[in-house]
Amino acid sequence: MKHEIIGNNLQMVKVELAAGEGLFAEAGAMVNMSGHMQMETNLTGGIVAGIKRMMTGESLFLTRFFPEDRPGFVSFAGNVPGKIFPLRLSDGREFIAQRDSFLCCEEGIVLDIAFTKKIRSGLFGGGGFILQNMSGNGTAFLHCCGDIIELTLQNSEMVKVQTGLVVGFESTVTYDIALAGGISSILFGGEGLFVTTLTGPGKVVLQSMDIAKIAAALVPFLPKPKETSGK
């Protein structure tokens, strides 16, 4: 499998597959593909795995793409402005991703769910109790809102991140939440009540924009429904 990430801030990934190769993608992510590329809806991993995907906010079914008898290409893009992060997994490495970040992956990637270890992380961390666990051998592609920030944390090194900006992290990284600061910072700082804390060792992937905040910023500009007067 070969891939090319196209574009700047509205990226898509073009994947070239040889005959016999295939990949799985989230429903509705495909942009274009070769005329002979085949696609089939697949309950990958069985009904239990499908239900687990639904719990992370993904579709019950995944779509499998594969060229029928000769090499071909297929392209995918996210549903918000942003960039695509290629994640290479091997040798038992696991990566924990926030819900809705998964775009597509090679057939060697195993998708499962992971739970936040602490109740407060699930309640106030912005991603809920359930995260997505990726393991196996191959490449997965994650969609990030805005630009990508990639960090490698050393042992016991901590970084504090605004809630909603965490794309994912290696399973060796500890995920928690903490108060954003003192009373004055919480009331007047505009950063919210909590921040996410990530403690190494391991790789962390962040995004520069939060889709929830983008949506909230657009609300004042949306057309308001007309009021109907009763007779």
Considering the entire predicted model, what is its pTM? Answer: 0.81
- Count CB-CB contacts under 10 A for residue 195: 21
Residue 226 lies in a domain: no
Asked if 96 and 142 count as a contact pair (C-beta separation under 8 A), the reply is no
Task: Give residue-wise pLDDT tens across range 201-219.
Answer: 999 999 999 887 787 788 8
Dist. CA 108–CA 119, nearest whole Å? 32
Dist. CA 100–CA 175, nearest whole Å? 18
- Residue keyed to tokens 């819900």: 99
- Residue 216, both tokens: 């909230």
Residue 74 lies in a domain: yes
Q: Does residue 47 register a pLDDT over 70?
A: no
Q: Does residue 191 register a pLDDT over 80?
A: no
pLDDT score at 217: 81
Average pLDDT, the chain: 82
- Residue 42 sits in a domain whose CATH number is 3.60.160.10
Residue 229 lies in a domain: no
Dist. CA 185–CA 191, nearest whole Å? 8
pLDDT score at 55: 54
212-221 burial: b if 16+ Cβ within 10 Å, else e? eeeeeeeeee
Task: Give residue-wise pLDDT tens across range 79-132.
Answer: 888 999 999 999 889 999 987 889 999 999 988 877 665 544 444 444 445 788
190, exposed or middle or buried, with CB in 10 Å at 0-12, 13-18, 19+?
A: exposed
Q: Which residues contact residue 19 at a Cβ distance below 8 angstroms, ignoring those fewer than 6 apart?
A: 67, 68, 69, 70, 71
Element (H, E) at 187: helix 183-188
Half-sphere exposure of 160 (CA within 13 A, CB side): 10
pLDDT score at 94: 94
Dist. CA 25–CA 30, nearest whole Å? 8
Domain containing 194 equals 2-215
User: Do you find a cis peptide bond into 223, omega within 30 degrees of 0?
Assistant: no
Counted residue by residue, the chain has a size of 231
Look at the chain and report how many structural domains it folds into. Answer: 1
Residue 223 lies in a domain: no
- Residue 136, both tokens: 């196996």
pLDDT score at 117: 54
Q: Does residue 69 register a pLDDT over 50?
A: yes
Asked if 166 and 98 count as a contact pair (C-beta separation under 8 A), the reply is yes
